[in-house]
Amino acid sequence: MKFGHFDDARKEYVINTPKTPYPWINYLGNQGFFSLISNTAGGYSFYMDARLRRITRYRYNNVPLDMGGRYFYINDNGTVWNPGWSPVKTELDAYECRHGMGYTIITGKKNDLKAEVTFFVPQNYDGEVQQVVLTNEGSTAKDFSIFSLAEWCLWDAQDDCTNFQRNFSTGRVEILGSTIYHVTEYRDRRNHYAFYTVNDTIDGYDTDRDAFLGSIYNGFDNPETVKAGKASNSFADGWSPVASHYKKITLAPGETKTLIYILGYAENPQDKKFASTKPEGLLTREAWVLNREKADAMIEKYNTPEKVAAGLAELRATWDNLLSIFKVDTPDDKVNRMVNIWNQYQCMVTFNLSRSASYFESGIGRGMGFRDSNQDVLGFVHQIPDRARERIIDIASTQMPDGGCYHQYQPLTKKGNSDIGGDFSDDPLWMILSVAAYIKETGDWTILDEMVPYDNDESLAKPMLDHLDVSFYHIVNNLGPHGLPLAMRADWNDCINLSCFSDTPGESFQTYTNPKFKAEGGYSKIAESVFVAALFTYTGPAYVGILEHLGKTEEAAKAQAEIDKMKKNVMESAFDGEWFLRAYDANGEKMGSHECEEGKIFIEPQGFAVMSEIGKDVGADIKTLNSIDKYLNCEFGLVLNNPAFTKYYIQYGEISTYPGGYKENAGIFTHNNAWIICAEAYAGRGEKAFEYYSKIAPAFTEETSDIHKTEPYVYGQMIGGKDAQNFGQGKNSWLTGTAAWNMVAISQYILGVKPEFDGLRVDPSIPAAWDGFKASRQFRGDTYEIEIKNPDHVNKGVKSLTVDGQAVDGCIVPVAGDGKTHKVEVVLG
């Protein structure tokens, strides 16, 4: 069952009921100011950091879900309704929500009054513009009132939802004309403020939440002022400050009125915090006066419908440009809409926000993840390489001199997060991959010379290349008894915690050190990760390629020898006969072996092992891929492990705490489904690659939205696996490495358009039924118009490749570098 449809021409998903199986959200903003907005206008805004600089308040885990957002209430002769249905939930005569690229348009209609609200964050602008267009579609005049509502968060979202003894007494606001300012703590230790304004006169306002609602026993669904059709002109002093504008409107039949609201954020330099004169009419209880110049300028920028239209046009143009870098035209509409629109859009969002703020990530739990952000670069780097470069350097700056890494950092401070710490065995490798991806995309080798601090300490700065060296050797220098990488606290799978042995509630599986490993430095020196071994052999060649390019032949040979040795060690100790083991636990026992009672086979190491060609000479690759199909494949994707754990295995940790079929315990983790899609494509098995791709790609799950629950336009982290009661049900949508990896899987492995150090590889692995496809790729200043022909209906194999009519050997299109458009023709066979 569907709850809307794709409008590809407008790059929108159109939702036709407010009652989606879960709030279906969108993100506004792609630079500093961000908003989350659901299809009923729920959500919140923040600047840079969802934890430290939260602008509006949001209550996670609320009942009902998704209460709180930016709301417009209309009182039309006693009928109170919202254009987005919520929070009052009056049945509407018509409803539609269009989520587009950085904007959302929600339209509601009741008793012949239509309200169309466009929400967006303009480019280079720290505010959310909300344009409300009201139209009387009836045949008689209408008198009604409209109330806006935003609830301020007292900046630090963590403190805001815990420290009530203090923060019920700190809230401060000011009001000037139609603008309400939020200035809590401004006088003292903050130099930022927020404001909410409307481009018209108002008939009243409210800034105290309880006064707006009329009673502490009322919810957002039942505000007394709105019902009474009159604001109470409250001035907040502590408690919960809000911003609400009240306006009376009369519309003749057919008449339209447009109001533009702006929810903005501004910072003042320390010496320009205060104004010297007090504007007339300023409502304040302060002795000081806010310097509101920045807000004034921001308001000026979007105070007419023409300016709003221009801002929206600029935003659309930005996205059209971003999405023109890589475009495809395949025989499958769903593939086209994923590749050309939604997967790329999600890659931008994950790049911006890592795993910080979504409807499943509270914005206070995690900042930017080291491994997460490096992987996000893989799907985003072609869009804005300069931002990828800056991000890579920020991340690398939190690395330790020995190659270890802080697992997370806060975007506002860019400092490593010490309460989580480090010692995640996979972290350093992802940085090799992201740096290599950046160079392959741009050909900009200078990133390797960039001086980058260790541990955020400038005095420890070394060239970026040094960071790659220590990353690579961090693996080599931390091997266990079988010559495989130590698992440390965890690898990619945060829930396999081989050094934890936790039997006490509250111990964090990821950071708790069992006393028995304390003396050894915080983790077992026995437990080894086969996943990290495979990731090492997959990633290592990129490092070797970099060294070779730099003419460091000896270093390259030395690194290659380590990779070869690792492959040998894996074949000797970690090939189980039909697939690769997952790990050796701290007792030296095999994990993920046919000998195990449960969790006999795991997905994670397999794809990278196959793509590293470990044991290919003895058929290990095909055996492994067939085992995945046999044991992990099910209707909605590939489960992470099988059989699911039904008991608590203290030696494995968190993974065995989840009921079977969810999360890392045999859930369908879409992130590592992508690794298998890549591996199947790599092995030339285009049918299987495409089967797995289409099982999890959101556009393909649209028809089963009632089962899937989460948005049909973006990936979620996890889908309930075959052991779950809710088989096929998605969770944790939006912020997941799945976005980047599936972008890589479809674009570089299935469609086979893959940047390399020395050119653009074109080597697809597609369903044999396809006659071919077209792709357009901007690459290092040139544009390549690629046409793939598949006359013999094969899966893979480049029979011939021509560039502007000239035959090229192999399948790498050399870099032309003349800024022109080139025609690439590839014939498969």
Contact range with ligand GLC by CB under 6 A, out of 60-68, 391-399, 489-497, 548-556 = 489-497
Among 343, 510, 513, 537, binds ligand GLC (CB under 6 A): 510
Among 369, 385, 607, 716, binds ligand GLC (CB under 6 A): 369
Amino acid identity of residue 62, one-letter, is: N
The CB-of-157 to ligand GLC minimum distance in angstroms stands at 18
- Asked if 645 touches ligand GLC (CB under 6 A), the answer is no
Q: Is 494 a catalytic residue?
A: yes
Cα dist. 467→127, 422, 464, 622 in Å?
37, 16, 5, 35
Judge whether 265 and 194 are in contact, CB under 8 Å. yes
Closer residue to ligand GLC in complex, CB, 142/355: 355
Closer residue to ligand GLC in complex, CB, 232/606: 606
The CB-of-669 to ligand GLC minimum distance in angstroms stands at 7
494, 621, 723, 763: the active-site residue: 494
- Asked if 422 touches ligand GLC (CB under 6 A), the answer is no
N-to-C CA span, the chain? 40
Closer residue to ligand GLC in complex, CB, 81/424: 424
The CB-of-502 to ligand GLC minimum distance in angstroms stands at 12
For every residue of 297-352, DSSP letters joined together read HHHHHT-SHHHHHHHHHHHHHHHHHHTTSEEEE-S-HHHHHIIIIIHHHHHHHHHH
The residue whose Cβ lies closest to ligand GLC is: 494
Q: Which of 660, 644, 563, 655 is nearest to 609 (CA)?
A: 563
Among 717, 742, 747, 795, binds ligand GLC (CB under 6 A): 717
The CB-of-427 to ligand GLC minimum distance in angstroms stands at 9
Cα dist. 710→166, 359, 477 in Å?
37, 10, 43
Among 294, 371, 440, 688, binds ligand GLC (CB under 6 A): 371
- Asked if 423 touches ligand GLC (CB under 6 A), the answer is no
The CB-of-500 to ligand GLC minimum distance in angstroms stands at 11
Among 347, 388, 448, 495, binds ligand GLC (CB under 6 A): 495
The CB-of-578 to ligand GLC minimum distance in angstroms stands at 24
Q: What is the 3 state secondary structure string of 765-827?
A: ECCCCCCEEEEEEEECCEEEEEEEECCCCCCECEEEEEECCEECCCCEECCCCCCCEEEEEEE
User: Encoding tokens for residue 411?
Assistant: 């975007």
- Asked if 493 touches ligand GLC (CB under 6 A), the answer is yes
Counted residue by residue, the chain has a size of 829
Among 57, 172, 355, 389, binds ligand GLC (CB under 6 A): 355
Q: Which residues pair with residue 638 across a beta bridge?
A: 633
What is the rounded CA–CA span in Å between residue 796 and residue 790?
9
- Asked if 801 touches ligand GLC (CB under 6 A), the answer is no
- Asked if 663 touches ligand GLC (CB under 6 A), the answer is yes
The CB-of-361 to ligand GLC minimum distance in angstroms stands at 9
Give, in degrees to the nearest 5, the angle at Cα 501 between 497 and 505.
100
- Asked if 376 touches ligand GLC (CB under 6 A), the answer is no
Cα dist. 126→46, 70, 101, 415 in Å?
10, 16, 17, 23
Task: Phi first, then psi: give them for residue 422, nearest 5 degrees.
Answer: -135, -145
- Asked if 664 touches ligand GLC (CB under 6 A), the answer is yes
Closer residue to ligand GLC in complex, CB, 218/511: 511
Residue 564, C-beta contacts closer than 8 angstroms, at least 6 positions apart: none
Closer residue to ligand GLC in complex, CB, 555/604: 604
Kindly tell me the number of DSSP H helices and DSSP E strands found in the chain.
22, 42
The CB-of-609 to ligand GLC minimum distance in angstroms stands at 18
- Asked if 372 touches ligand GLC (CB under 6 A), the answer is yes
Helix (H) or strand (E) holding 107, with range, is strand 103-110
Question: Left (φ > 0), alpha (ψ -120 to 50) or beta: where does 5 sit?
Answer: beta
Contact range with ligand GLC by CB under 6 A, out of 88-96, 118-126, 197-205, 486-494 = 486-494
Size of the site for ligand GLC (CB under 6 A): 14
Residue 278's SS3 state is coil
Extract long-range pairs of 25-28: CB within 8 Å, 24+ residues apart: 25/99, 25/358, 25/359, 25/711, 25/733, 25/734, 26/99, 26/100, 26/103, 26/104, 27/102, 27/349, 27/352, 27/353, 27/734, 28/102, 28/103, 28/104, 28/119, 28/120, 28/121, 28/128
The CB-of-495 to ligand GLC minimum distance in angstroms stands at 5
User: Encoding tokens for residue 346?
Assistant: 């999600």
Contact range with ligand GLC by CB under 6 A, out of 217-225, 343-351, 369-377, 806-814 = 369-377
DSSP label of 11: T
Closer residue to ligand GLC in complex, CB, 358/624: 358
The CB-of-155 to ligand GLC minimum distance in angstroms stands at 24
- Site track 735-774 with ligand GLC (rule: CB under 6 A), x = hit: -x--------------------------------------
Beta carbons within 10 angstroms of residue 413's beta carbon:
13
Annotated active-site positions, please?
494
Q: Binding residues for ligand GLC, per CB under 6 A?
A: 355, 369, 371-372, 492-495, 510, 654, 663-664, 717, 736
